Structures are given as C-alpha cells and as structure tokens.
Chain A
Amino acid sequence: MKRVAIVGYAQHPILKNAGALNEVELIMPVVHQLFNDLGISQKDIDFTCSGSCDYLQGAAFAFVEGLSAIQTNPPIKESHVEMDAAWAMYESMLKIQMGDAETALIYGFGKSSPGDLDAIISLQMDPYYISPLWPDRVSLAALQARVLLDQNIITPEQMLATVIEARANSKNNKNALITDLIDESDYLNNAMVSSPLNKLDCPPISDGSSAMIIASEEKAYKFTDHPIWIEGIDHRIESSNLGSRNLATSNTLQVSMNQLNLKNIKFDVAELHTQFSHELPFLKSLLNLQDVPTNLSGGPLVGNVMMCAGLDAIGKTYESLKENQFTHGLAHATSGPCLQHNMLVHLEAQK
C-alpha cells in the first residue's frame, strides 16, 4: 500500500436551514478555504471526487451542478459517489493506490431542509419489499435501539448520557448546529418520536458541506508539515434485507476490525458516525472503545449533514490528532439503515 495522508479539511458551519443558499454556494466557500489554507489551487489536484444524494435535491443528476463550485477548466479528472463523501475519500484512496493520482480533493454536501428526510431515506431500502412501506429513518433506528435495550447490550442511561455529552462536547466544534445544554429532566420530558427514541435521541435536520484533501507521501509534505496518515481503511456492508440481519451485532464490522488489526492499537480519540443516541454506546462496546474519548466534536447529534457526516467524522478525527498531539485516531462512517454499511479509518499522526 502506498502511504496516503490527509493534508487538509474544512467544514461549512452546519445550518438548520440554508435558505436561499444552494448547494454550489455551500460548497464553494469550503473548497476555497481549503485551497487558501494550503496555498494551492485546483491545478494542484489530480483527482476530484464528491459525495451527495440527488434525492435530497429532488433533481436527477443534481450532483453535476455541484461541480460549478470548483474550477473545471482546464478539464479535470472527476468522479462522484451517491453516498456519504467518506466513500468519495475511499474512491480517492483507490485512485492514488492505482497510481492514477497523487492528490485528491473530496467534497460532500447536503441540504436536508428542503424535503422530507424521513420519506427520502426510506427510498434507499429494498424497492420491492420495504420502500413501498415508507419506513422512516427514526423508526428503522428504533428497531435496532429496541433490540439493543432488550438484550441489555446498552442501557437507557447510556442513551441519556450520550445526548447530554454530545451537547456538552459541541463547545469543541465551532460549526455545530445544536449547542444548548440539557439535563436529565429535559431528556425524560421529551415525547417519543418512535419508541424508544425521543426527539433528543435523533440528529437535527442539517444543511452544509465539507471538503478534504488527501495526498500520497510524495506530495503530502509539499502541502503541509503535519500530514495525518491514513494507516488503515476498510468498509463492509450487511445484508440489505433487515430480516436476515442480527441487529444486536455487526459481523461485517468485526471483519473490518480484524483487517485493521484494531485490538493492537491504543487509540487516543475516536469520532463515530452515530446518528442516534443508542448507536454510540453500541459501537463503543463493539469497537472496544470504552476508555477512548469519543465524539469530542459532539458528533452527528449536534449536526448531521447528510452525505457529509461520515466525511466529517474522518475530518474531526484528523483535526483532533493535529490539535491535541494525539497519535492514533479511529474514524467511522456509516450508511444505510441500522448501521448497515460501515467504514473504519485508522489515522496516525507522525511521531
């Protein structure tokens, strides 16, 4: 494997409703900020890859419009994933491994405010048996939460603690959308959205964008003196048939953990793409992160830009390693219902 590093990351302030700002107007500032921070331009980028979902915009091939945010003349090599931009980063990694590029710009964007996110997310399900039932994202998450509570894998107290901690941690994240603190009675007095999940267990509807630049070892030091190395990356997916999954565990995640040899790494920090409060204690125990500071940025519960939040978990881990002199960080991105598809990224700062 060629060594590849993250050399820069920028995030738009997460908004409840970006209003008249369209996707291009959300992407352009973060790409420009990244270029300015590193003193480079699009000409220094070999490959550009974005992540977004046309259903969020309600227009076919809407992602093509996003390209208007970047300089495309002279012509660029470009690609897109209809997924979280974490997978755009994965594609960029492959591109660099294949020798087709030394540097890559990744960006993700999403506005959830214009449409009905519950309805939109149900369209990612099996089109014959599940989508026609229009299961909303909270109800799907609640199915897994119920299984985890019933099997005593997590407790209601852990869910409460996750919500309170996320909001307390939002002070570390200048782009967080939700920053007000809550206490136990606020939590307990909130009405259920889909039992056992109440409104505070769910992430906020969010608009925003993020961008990242990765580079091969050869190029990384031309961009920065402090690259953060991607030491391991692996992603695997569970069955699309909810009924055939064991929602109390994730066999594919176990395989990824073995691939990355996680049990032999002492992590200083982790950022997990856990959108609902039950997911954090669940993944922390699966990934053996009980003693590792996790989601110091507040995570998706304080701002959850669709198609971006996974890339943000990687970006926040990168920032954490850089700012705190940490050595090892673990980032996680997910997609699909009930943590169906998971990516793990092991980041390491230069010793």
Chain B
Amino acid sequence: MSAEDTPKDYSESPINLEYFYTAGSATTRFLNQVKEGNIVGQGCPKCKAVYVPPRGSCPRCGVATDIEVPLIDKGCIESFTVVHIPIPGNPIVPPYVCAMIRLDGANISFLHLIQDVDIENIRIGMRIQAVWKPKEEWTHSLENIKWFAPIDEPDVDVATLRFQES
C-alpha cells in the first residue's frame, strides 16, 4: 500500500475561541459581596428557598431571586469525597477532601475544601466554618475562603435540611 492509500484515521483541527464571559447580574451582586468578605445568598420571593451561590433565578418557580439574604460562614458537610488522584496544575497535594458545604440558612450546597482535620474524622453532618485568606488577598471569588475547618458544635442530621415547600 502506497502512502497515499494509507487510511488516515484522524486529522488535527485545533480550535481556539476567546470569550468575554459575564457571570450575570445576580452572580455579579454576589461576587461583589464576596470581595468584601460577605456571603450574601438570594431568596426566591415565591418558595423562599435561599440559593448560595445564587444564579439569579429559582429553577423551582422560574422567577428571579431578588431578595438578598446575608448568611454567616458556618454550616455543615452535606457530603464529601477524598481525592487521591493528583490533578495536573492543582497545587493541593492528595489525599485531600472536597465537600458539599451547606451554609446555615441556605437551601443548596456548594463545593469547597475541608482542611485542619484528619481525613478519617470527617463525616456527613459535621459542623464547619470558613477559613478566610488575609483580607488584602480578597478578590471576586469564593477562593477568598481557603477552606472550611471543623468547629466544636454537635453534628447535624442532614436529612432535616431537605427543602420543605411552604
């Protein structure tokens, strides 16, 4: 078979597109507060669910979440996983813990790190609080929180956190 006849099973066609990404006006309000060290969720005017981080709408009701709900930086672990695989470019050395953090007063959780505790002691329902970076390093990002660390409070039964429609 000559070179011309050899079947070619792939061709490279690199794509590079650049975007000016916008978070949306609701998330912008949230990130402006995060830069000041405040966590402000947004509430649904109909079902009263509180979203953090907010995306600007309550998908349950299909309306804008226009109620600002200041939250504290304490909550509990809704679920977690121990990461053993090193991810290229990630400065954190495995094993480490990623957890779904449910802040007090919020109806959804978000992903963050758990540190300052032995991994074998981490459990669902454990009470935790944010450990912030020094104020001068704060930006428009939840990375202003270095990680969450356990606090000395009794565990929460996460089943009780399930959203109840009023």
Interface set of A (CB-CB < 8 Å, partner B):
19-22, 24-25, 28, 31-32, 42, 55, 57-58, 65, 67-73, 113-116, 119-120, 123, 127-128, 131-132
A58 and B19 form a contact (CB under 8 A): yes
The smallest C-beta distance from B23 to any residue of chain A, in angstroms, reads: 7
Question: Which B residues are CB-close (under 8 A) to A72?
Answer: 59-60, 62
A115 and B19 form a contact (CB under 8 A): yes
A115 and B55 form a contact (CB under 8 A): no
What are 22 A-B pairs with beta-carbon distances under 8 A? A20-B22, A20-B24, A20-B25, A22-B23, A22-B56, A24-B56, A25-B25, A25-B64, A28-B57, A31-B62, A58-B21, A68-B56, A68-B57, A69-B62, A71-B59, A71-B62, A115-B19, A115-B20, A119-B17, A127-B13, A128-B13, A132-B13
The smallest C-beta distance from A13 to any residue of chain B, in angstroms, reads: 16
Closest to A127 in B: B13
List the 9 shortest-distance A-B pairs measured between CB atoms, nearest first: A71-B62, A22-B24, A58-B19, A73-B60, A70-B62, A68-B57, A68-B59, A132-B13, A114-B20
- With an 8 A cutoff between CB atoms, is B11 at the interface? yes
Q: Answer whether A25 and B17 are a contact pair too, CB < 8 Å, given A70-B62, A73-B60, A73-B61.
A: no
- With an 8 A cutoff between CB atoms, is B18 at the interface? yes
A58 and B62 form a contact (CB under 8 A): no
Between B11, B18, B22, B61, the greatest number of chain A beta carbons within 10 A of the residue's beta carbon is seen for B22
Q: How big is the B interface, by class?
A: 20 to 34
A114 and B17 form a contact (CB under 8 A): no
A114 to B18, CA, bound (A): 8
Interface positions of B from 7 to 41, Cβ below 8 Å from A: 11, 13, 15, 17-28
Q: Answer whether A73 and B15 are a contact pair too, CB < 8 Å, given A20-B25, A25-B25, A113-B20.
A: no
A21 and B25 form a contact (CB under 8 A): yes
A69 to B60, CA, bound (A): 10
**A to B contact number (C-beta, < 8 Å):** 76
A116 and B18 form a contact (CB under 8 A): yes
Q: Answer whether A24 and B57 are a contact pair too, CB < 8 Å, given A114-B19, A114-B22, A132-B13.
A: yes
Interface set of B (CB-CB < 8 Å, partner A):
11, 13, 15, 17-28, 55-57, 59-64
Question: Which A residues are CB-close (under 8 A) to B60?
Answer: 71-73
The smallest C-beta distance from A325 to any residue of chain B, in angstroms, reads: 35
B56 and A42 form a contact (CB under 8 A): no
The smallest C-beta distance from A34 to any residue of chain B, in angstroms, reads: 12
A123 and B62 form a contact (CB under 8 A): no
The smallest C-beta distance from B63 to any residue of chain A, in angstroms, reads: 8
A115 to B20, CA, bound (A): 6
B55 and A68 form a contact (CB under 8 A): yes
A57 to B24, CA, bound (A): 12
Question: Which A residues are CB-close (under 8 A) to B26?
Answer: 25
A67 and B59 form a contact (CB under 8 A): yes
Question: Which A residues are CB-close (under 8 A) to B15?
Answer: 123
A108 to B19, CA, bound (A): 20
Question: Which B residues are CB-close (under 8 A) to A71?
Answer: 59-63
A69 and B24 form a contact (CB under 8 A): no
Question: Which B residues are CB-close (under 8 A) to A68?
Answer: 55-57, 59
The smallest C-beta distance from B42 to any residue of chain A, in angstroms, reads: 12
B19 and A28 form a contact (CB under 8 A): no
Between A24, A31, A120, the greatest number of chain B beta carbons within 10 A of the residue's beta carbon is seen for A24
B24 and A128 form a contact (CB under 8 A): no
A24 to B64, CA, bound (A): 9
A21 to B28, CA, bound (A): 10
Q: Answer whether A73 and B59 are a contact pair too, CB < 8 Å, given A55-B17, A127-B13.
A: yes
The smallest C-beta distance from A287 to any residue of chain B, in angstroms, reads: 35
Closest to B14 in A: A132
Closest to B25 in A: A20
Question: Which A residues are CB-close (under 8 A) to B62?
Answer: 28, 31, 42, 69-72
Question: Which B residues are CB-close (under 8 A) to A19?
Answer: 22
A57 to B23, CA, bound (A): 11
Question: Which A residues are CB-close (under 8 A) to B13?
Answer: 127-128, 131-132
A261 to B33, CA, bound (A): 60
A28 to B62, CA, bound (A): 8
The smallest C-beta distance from A177 to any residue of chain B, in angstroms, reads: 19
Closest to A29 in B: B64
Closest to B60 in A: A73
Closest to B61 in A: A71
Please pick, from A24, A120, A123, A127, the residue contacting B55 in the complex, using a CB distance under 8 A: A24
B56 and A25 form a contact (CB under 8 A): yes
Question: Which B residues are CB-close (under 8 A) to A25?
Answer: 24-26, 56-57, 64
Question: Which B residues are CB-close (under 8 A) to A132?
Answer: 13
A71 to B47, CA, bound (A): 12
Question: Which A residues are CB-close (under 8 A) to B19?
Answer: 57-58, 114-115
